[in-house]
Amino acid sequence: MICKVLKNIDIDDRYFFLKTDFEVEPKAGQFYMLRSWENYPTLSRPISIYNVEDGLEFLVEERGVGTNLLRNLKEGDLIKVYGPYGNSFDIDVDKVTLVGGGVGTAPMYLTAKKIKEKNRDAKVKLYLGLDETTKLDEMFYDLEKLGVEIFVKRGGFITDIIDFKEEKLIYACGPEAMLENITKLSLKENSTCYVSLDTKMACGVGACLGCTCKTKNGNKRTCKEGPIFLGSDIYE
């Protein structure tokens, strides 16, 4: 789908906010493949959905050539948007703890929003693990108007401020070390943890097997069977 860029705003040195006019209704935790170039780089970039409000919204971390090209798009420029891809977080819950690290915070915005839209009485906590200089947290505080509790940890380990005895259902997205740690701490308290993997992808539709990950039930394609898995199926 060829779309138009509505906004492209720097959040800080690493992250930017990109909005397109593609009006769809994806599920929480899904992603799109984005590209604004013809030949090089070869692969599109998998980007999680941050929000849907009169168009698709993304929070993107500049990591290399592809994301640099996305960052330099101007209002009115054209961008190719493919998707949505992947499975999703269950939003029919009464109580849940969301944990995001770095750019892994992005899908937690739409997840929290959809949970509260489904059940405004649902108890939702959102933990953001960020570095000392980023302003990413500013993109989440309006969720407090919906009744979402927000906790921010700058530097160190986000797990230091989470009471795993209290949190019995956890959705997490971020660096692999964080996901593994959260899963293991959850298991100690007999809690259920789902993790969204940030795996390098090529096609986004499961054909190339480039994003295959190991699970207790055999190899799975992150873009097709994932990106969301039961944490205990990934980390022992």
Please tell me the predicted confidence (pLDDT) of residue 1.
Answer: 87
Q: What SS3 state is found at 64?
A: coil
pTM (2 decimals)? 0.95
Q: Using CB atoms within 10 A of its CB, is residue 120 exposed (0-12), middle (13-18) or buried (19+)? A: exposed
* Shared-domain flag, residues 223 and 161: yes
Give the end of a domain, one of 43, 66, 85.
85
Instruction: Please list the rounded mean pLDDT of every run of 10 residues in the chain (236 residues).
Output: 96 97 94 90 91 96 94 97 96 98 97 97 98 96 98 96 95 96 96 93 83 91 94 91
* Shared-domain flag, residues 204 and 119: yes
- The alpha helices in the chain, defined as continuous H runs, are 65-71, 106-118, 176-188, 231-234
* Shared-domain flag, residues 204 and 132: yes
Please tell me the predicted confidence (pLDDT) of residue 38.
Answer: 86
Which structural domain, as residue segments, surrounds residue 102?
A: 95-234
What CATH number did the domain enclosing 12 receive? Answer: 2.40.30.10
Q: Dihedrals φ, ψ of 179, to 5°?
A: -65, -40
